[in-house]
Amino acid sequence: MKLVTIANQKGGSGKSTLTVLLATALAATYGYRVGVLDLDPQQSLYQIRAVTDEGLRADDEEYAYPILPMSIEEAWSHLEQHSDEYDIVFLDLPGRSDSGDLLEMIANCNVVIVPMRASMFDRLSTASFLDGILAAQKTMDEPFAVYGLRTMYQANTREENDLTEYLRTSPLPMFTNFLPQRESFKRASTLYSFLNSAFRRGIAAHNTAGKEIHALCEELIEKVDLPREVEETAAEA
């Protein structure tokens, strides 16, 4: 079982959207055994499913993965008891890096992904958050991997160019792929994968959006070192 969290203390960074896009694609299209633990008190992922996707689901349709709301304390017990049931678990955490319990949970992940938007305010907030994460990383006998991932990317803007310059001097390794600014990504579903062409047509999403999510999934699979025996099912993108 691999543990991944997409974490940032800045609201609107795209962490919940990115979690849904990746988790749904890996479960519904790739066929991995995925779990999502919603540890954020707002329970936004659980609410997306309960309010939006439940209204779209046919009576005979089943979700490809569970979204389980719980506390950090409950998560430890759940992971210990059910570790054999998952290939990968996404942890949706509260947006803080100053809590001992939260840092301990982050430190036990295999990969921590920090979504990064290009505005100055987002960059400053993310830098502060990273200080806590990187400090925790240094205390581990087997340090977890931390990667930045650019979200809501808009090419050829001053803000994106400034972020590019900032990252050139940053020690933070980055995902090669990024999540562009697309209206269709706001329609991310916990029921249907963006690699599903019928779903993309239904929400008026460009085929390029599917290719972008496919590229992110491929990079995550490599970074987390997931088995590749189900790779061929991603051809639908």
CATH number at residue 48: 3.40.50.300
Average pLDDT over residues 144-161: 88
209 within a domain of the structure (yes/no): yes
Name which residue leads in pLDDT, 57 or 166. Answer: 57
45 within a domain of the structure (yes/no): yes
In whole angstroms, what is the distance from residue 3 CA to residue 36 CA? 10
233 within a domain of the structure (yes/no): no
235 within a domain of the structure (yes/no): no
237 within a domain of the structure (yes/no): no
Rg of the chain, C-alpha, whole Å: 17
> Which domain covers residue 178, as residue numbers?
2-228
Bridging pattern class, strands 67-69 and 34-38: parallel
26 within a domain of the structure (yes/no): yes
Percent of the chain with pLDDT over 90: 56
In whole angstroms, what is the distance from residue 196 CA to residue 30 CA? 11
Q: Order the strands of the 34-38 sheet from edge to edge.
A: 67-69, 34-38, 88-92, 2-6, 111-116, 145-153, 179-180
Question: What's residue 137's pLDDT?
Answer: 78
Question: What's residue 235's pLDDT?
Answer: 43
198 within a domain of the structure (yes/no): yes
Average pLDDT over residues 119-138: 75
In whole angstroms, what is the distance from residue 220 CA to residue 22 CA? 9
| Number of other residues whose CB lies within 10 A of the CB of residue 180 | 15
Condensed to tens digits (0 to 9), the pLDDT of residues 62-114 reads 999 999 999 999 999 999 999 999 999 999 988 665 567 888 888 889 999 99
pLDDT winner (highest mean) among 8-12, 123-127, 172-176, 191-195:
191-195
Condensed to tens digits (0 to 9), the pLDDT of residues 162-171 reads 888 888 888 8
Number of domains in the chain: 1
